[in-house]
Amino acid sequence: MRENLRELWRYRELLFAMVEREIRIRYKNSVLGFFWSLINPLVTMLVLWLVFKFFLRNSTENFTPNVLAAYLPFMFVQLAVLDSSQSVLVSLQVVKKVYFPREILPLAGVIANFVHYLLALVVFFLYMFVVWASTGFQDSPFTWRIAFLPILLIVTVSLTTGLALIVSALNVFYEDVKYAISILLYLLFFLTPVMYFSENVYYSIKNAGLPPVLYDIYHLNPLATLATTYKKVLVPPGPVDAGGGLGLVQPLPMNWGLFGVTFLVSVGLLAGGYALFNRLKWRFVERP
Amino acid sequence: MSTPAILIEDLHKEFIVSHSGAGSLKTALLWWKRRRLETLKVLNGLSFQVGQGECVALIGKNGAGKSTLLSLIARVYRPTSGRITVNGRTAPLLELGAGFHPDLTGLENILFNAMILGLSRKDALARTGEIVDFAELGGQIDAPVRTFSSGMLARLGFAIAVNVDADILIVDEVLAVGDFEFEEKCYRKIEEFRSVGHTILFVSHQMESVMRVADRCLLLEHGQVSMEGAPSDVIARYHESG
């Protein structure tokens, strides 16, 4: 492991050049170029508002920013994993002819998407600021919890990198891994509290008279815990529309226990994924 | 005796080959349809060395293991057993244009490829001028590589490989792509490369070029070195056995 990390460090400039290339290629033949990354969150915001606030009349306070706070990182995980799943396979011709640390390929996919996520996050904060300004600067939407954002980003990136390493390595040998993973991520989107809230899950379980431990089991999905943590960190707490005749409920406090579990799972996935990738990487060129 | 540039000791390489193409999760799960896999021995206990500043040619029939050997030295493959010791930085030229991205311009690809071959960003940037001059691509260098002809790709690939300050150049039969004039230029560059004490190991089917540039020649048969010596002797033996 140490040996591999040292080798990766020696090729760090290639990694950054690869990230730059990924970003450059994406916008190479487009008119709007880099603005695409800014337009996407803006349009998403508009559609979310239209659907949930206007059509469905959800009365949750700060609904749109809440959803967006979780939607953006989810999209980052999804795009980064899908992009990098193919990364080794599409570069196999290069991999067969030149030596360089192979993990650079999926890592570049993750980092390029992370850059886009950071840009989207800037748009998100601008939106929050504009809304705040339009109310004449009453009740600042920025709380002390934002200080927690860097740790949250680190956990998200290590989870994503771990997944990307595993998926990209396996996809070389089993080409349908990327289909399996794209279906899985699509379904996970609905099983993750992005468009709804952990509070919805909590009160639905309670109302149906089911054992409360189901709430914890649901949050063993690291993306579920992350989505809720992003909402609680980026948007000030307010009453949530629990639906089903329950009306508005008070928000649940941060669940540090669940976040701790997610933290451990993410770090474990990163270490395990890197180990797996390094075991398999010499066999990429020899795949039967 | 000084340390050799390349030292190969009892090198073995086996490949697992499948008769049904790439795998999928589906075939992995359907055990009654499991693929038949066979082991193919390409290199069987190969040993030789290349001294500093030497120019060595590898010849042999198709399937003798020449390209596999070069790929092993270039660290693309890992040996099944045996040892490879390389003293110095290598610039492998196993296929021209490998690693070029079609949508990026010639210049962007130069920078990127030079970095893949181990240059830092700063050094790579400093080299682009020389590379562009050598490749003689003129204004075309700012166009996307997908618009290049195969001859132009060959020139650019060669220009990068010989200009990245490597100690050892590993060439797999790629010089026969350019026109006569460019080929001459490549030979001159190879001479220059050698005159400053760099090492070259190359594979060729063109016996004239072997006679012309090689100090020593190795004949590969069935994954082993069956003869080594002066190019003229080894070529004579190769023609006899064929």
CB-CB under 8 Å, A177 with B103: no
B140: burial class by Cβ within 10 Å (0-12, 13-18, 19+)? middle
**Chain A residues whose beta carbon lies within 8 Å of the beta carbon of residue B108:** 21, 24
A12 has a chain B CB within 8 A of its CB = no
What are the boundaries of each domain within chain A? 2-286
Query: Residue A33: which pLDDT band, with cuts at 50, 70 and 90?
Result: low
Q: Tens of pLDDT along B154-195? A: 888 888 888 888 899 888 876 666 677 888 888 888 888 888
Contact A57, A86 (CB under 8 A): no
Q: Which of A105-119, A162-176, A201-215, B6-20 has the lowest mean pLDDT?
A: B6-20
User: A269 vs chain B: nearest CA distance in angstroms?
Assistant: 21
Residue B116 lies in a domain: yes
Closest CA in chain A for residue B109: A21
CB contact (8 A) between residue A97 and residue B75? no
What would the two tokens of residue A51 be? 């659907």
Residues of B in contact with A102 (CB under 8 A): none
**Closest listed residue to residue B230, CA positions, set B59, B37, B29, B23:** B59
Crossing angle (nearest 10°) for helices A104-134 and A149-173: 140
pLDDT over 60 at B1, yes or no: no
Instruction: Tell me how many domains chain B contains.
Output: 1
Residue A110 has pLDDT above 90, yes or no: yes
Q: How confident is the model at residue A266 (pLDDT cuts 50, 70, 90)?
A: very high
- Domain contains B117: yes
Domain that includes residue B133, residue range: 103-163
Other CB atoms closer than 10 Å to residue A196's CB: what's the count? Answer: 22
Q: Which of B76, B108, B120 sits opposite A96 (nearest CB)?
A: B76
The string of pLDDT tens digits covering residues B56-99 is 999 998 888 898 999 999 899 999 999 999 998 888 888 766 77
pLDDT at A238: 87
User: Would you say residue B2 lies in a domain?
Assistant: no
Res. A170 pLDDT band, cuts 50 70 90: very high
Task: Kindly report the nearest CA distance between residue A109 and chain B, in angstroms.
Answer: 16
Q: Is residue B212 part of a domain?
A: no
Mean pLDDT in residue range A66-80: 94
Give me the residue from B25, B77, B115 closest to A177, CB to CB: B25
Residue B152 lies in a domain: yes
Contact B75 A99 (CB under 8 A): yes
Percent of chain B with pLDDT over 90: 29
CA A87 to CA A167: how far, in whole Å? 10
Higher pLDDT, A78 or B207: A78
Residue numbers in A near B29 (CB within 8 A): none
ipTM, 2 dp: 0.82
Asked if residue B133 is part of any domain, the answer here is yes
* Interval A125-152: pLDDT, tens: 998 899 899 888 888 888 888 999 999 9
What count of residues does chain A have? 288
Minimum Cα–Cα distance from B37: chain A residue: A288
All residues of chain B having their beta carbon less than 8 Å from the beta carbon of residue A98 are 74, 76, 92, 94, 98-99, 116-117
The chain-wide mean pLDDT, for chain A, equals 90
